[in-house]
Amino acid sequence: MPDENIKSHPGTAAVLSFVFNGLGQLYNGQINKGLLIMFFSAVGMLALIMGSILAGLWLLGKIAGVSALILCGGLFLIGLALICIFGIYSIKDAYDVAAKK
């Protein structure tokens, strides 16, 4: 159980979340929130990587069709959006929580 009396430094929490999404929450003692942010960031990274691989295969001519291009573009954009949204949220939340302690 996290100790609510331990003071966290807001700058350190924000930098840790910048380095790796969710790490600032772990630093602040919010284990479940940090792990959840890490999970969704990993899902976003996986979607981004899969979209990039499919785009490369499409460019090399290994897969064809407009539907394949839409799939790889969609995966790429969804992954990028998840990473950005959870990254910005993670940094701001880690800073705000640490500042309140």
User: Tens of pLDDT along 5-46?
Assistant: 567 899 999 999 999 999 999 999 999 999 999 999 999 999
What pLDDT score does 53 carry?
93
Domain ranges of the chain: 10-100
Q: pLDDT at residue 82 above 50?
A: yes
Distance of CA 22 to the CA centre of its chain: 8
Alpha helices by DSSP H, listed for 1-101, are: 10-19, 23-27, 31-59, 66-100
pTM comes to: 0.82
Question: Which residue's structure tokens are 């990039």?
Answer: 52
What pLDDT score does 1 carry?
43
What pLDDT score does 9 carry?
92
